[in-house]
Chains A and B, each alone.
Chain A
């Protein structure tokens, strides 16, 4: 599946091979930015502000989206106390009413829990209050889904598929009428929503969907045919956000072309059916099913966004929906850590509590570092979205990749600490491990997201670089016309210092220095990649992967520095521990970044890897003579 997905992406990438050019049309299926990539509309997206991660690719440290720690100031006192009041009842519900083991066992959510969730208001966390929801900000949503993630990821997916993507399109793009018609019942949980994009032949490459809607002769309906697979809530939803090809006249030539359009489809329209619930590895209690459309008549007023703009709609929903994952998974990790820490503190082997052993300590330290970074990024992202930033796609992708891999490793190590007990179903670890596995696959496979992180960043760097290169041909006459960005780039290239993190607390100057030097090195490495490969960089997947990994580590480092700085400045009780966590994270990250950058230009086994893989694909198996000859 993954291979198919990657091939799909490569095709899509190739289609848009101009991506390292300043052109703004660059798209990567399923994860690309939704047209807002460089619009830089909001107050925090100005030249010196703007996406922190985007700036990194030009070797810049743009502090304004990270310092001071955005999550610390995003809630006013009233919002804070309201949110605080929501936390307890939500946690109590999951501790007393919902039974994750039973949900897993029966592959369904108990009626009691489902009704409880409805009564609680959990189906409309971000729907405006006047339409029957709780009207929470992204930060508020993140805080509550963290509790869900602590207890039951299956329930989390049912709720997330409903509101984080299922009807997110209505809240983002819906007309006033569409919102008034659909949101109240969706917020009450009376109607469940689903997001229907994926098809058998179209996974990560979302532009290649085959479902098709044709305008009826009288122009009043779109008639939809096709099928979707792996649709979360597909078997229980009443309202679907569906993506299908439509014939749209080209603006210039008038020639009809296939373009994706988004529709709000009600099950009650008729012609919509679903397959039986999929039997999955994890998140079993959430419903996943195929959905079929057989001449479904959709009123024209149910187009979501503009006809032909469906791809943009899909990507905006996915980008917007991604932020909750980091928060949910930080909850999962904290729960895992707490359970295994209890064991480590009490379990005696070889005459000592196992917490005394170095290898056990190492595991817990690494768990804590991963949680600290995941939380720092998730809440920075949510806060930036709350204050109106539109330029957060790279950060959202980074947060998703980091969180899903951190959670996988934390759950795995927590289980390891438990030893044999962890392997037993009753201990509750194996369920979480199974539940977590999907997070690296869905909502943009991590491989695709790495490509997205690297290419989106490189795209901007490429634009600047072109300017720089042109200017360098006749530097004197051109210097005045260079953008500030390009000027700084030239200064850096000729070795006149690098950006510093100004907002960092003096106690964190050491680790901040590591980040600064690596940010500069990273920018230079990106330049060098562009100069060497030009637009063919798209074919250098392993190089792009290292670029993405370095970007992830750099962003995470700055996020933890910002959070620890805030802890120091606000006199937080845990400030000392946070300094230790942030410093250690930056030191570890520094080593990883250095290694990744070094191997961009240095000797690697990438070529050998490709040859080994090719020989496997040729045979379709591991066809090597057996050690004992047969």
Chain B
């Protein structure tokens, strides 16, 4: 898995580097005299926007011809219980990575929750196909190394949108790579032709897409710029995940002096 991911990441990085050099020439940095444009450029924090938009369209195309139809079949053919079983199973496989990051963030209570969940769901939940732990009061939470880095004070960095992976700014891309090392499956299936990790990656993608069929349609329909909306949604939901629901309201922008009438 690591090799696969490393390979993929290496290729992706080489591609990104190549295209970004090209894009850097094309990216329209604003006229320094135009204050509003400079502010807009900085707020977007997306210096590689032309390249990112290109990859975004590429993914959208792949979604239309491949991912979306697969997700629709998956959603239509499988009964609800089966889909839930798949989700629970995939969630349970993810537990070691979540646990590692809980610990790295010093979140002992959450680490305990994750460990307990893994114990209960692997046994009582029949290899993770069911999720009795939630009913026992151990609700699931997610964690990843991108979030751990954020807790350590690392900024997200400029926005980056990659083929297949989607939104992956440097901090979170690093997180994805590091998380592979926390994942027991990486070591168990080290030499095994990647069937298991790849199946998991694909199934995870299809399941995620299937659960967001209507939501994504609605977002696309009601957006004046789908790319910018997804960028905003990604950043906001990451901020929410990193804060673990403990957002400081004083960090919200100052809106008391806006007058626009």
Real complex partners, A and B? no
